[in-house]
Amino acid sequence: MFRGVTQLSLDAKGRLAIPARYRDELTSTCSGHLIVTVDPSKCLLIYPYPAWEPIEQKLNSLSSFSPASRNLQRLMVGSASDVEMDAAGRILLSPSLRQFADLSKDVVLVGQGTKFELWNEIQWNLQIEIALAFKDGDMPPELEGFSL
């Protein structure tokens, strides 16, 4: 399980050092083979390859006659990039992926269970502000009765 928020920096070549606490798990579950794709919220999603496979299959099984489905396929599958962790635990993010999420130097890696989100630090801080403005009436119906 990937959880937690980590502030990181991309190097000049666009490499991201995966935090050491995740490297062993990524090495054992997928030999460091990751998929990086885009998310409609303008961040990048980073999946261990085995976690990505069923998502890609599900996306590809959607009807090609639905414009919304085709757009999602184009966005997520079309932008997906295979990356390998190097010996130092880094992955190289392509210029097009970095441009999509407006990533330059300061980034935030957010564990989301079976995947990571990678955000531009400023955009991540805006997401947190939005989350903190949560109102009682904004509770999704599927969370009714849920308690922390």
Residue 134 has pLDDT above 90, yes or no: no
In the prediction, which pLDDT does 137 show? Answer: 65
List Cβ<8 Å contacts ≥24 apart for 21-24: 22/111, 23/85, 23/89
Q: What is the mean pLDDT of residues 21-34?
A: 96
Q: What is the mean pLDDT of residues 117-138?
A: 88
- Overall pTM > 0.85: yes
Rg (CA), the chain: 16
Alpha helices, DSSP H only, in the chain? 20-30, 49-61, 67-72, 95-100, 121-132
Going by DSSP bridges, is the β-strand pair 116-120/106-113 parallel, antiparallel, or unpaired? antiparallel
- What is the pLDDT confidence band of residue 131, given thresholds at 50, 70 and 90? confident
Residue 53 has pLDDT above 80, yes or no: yes
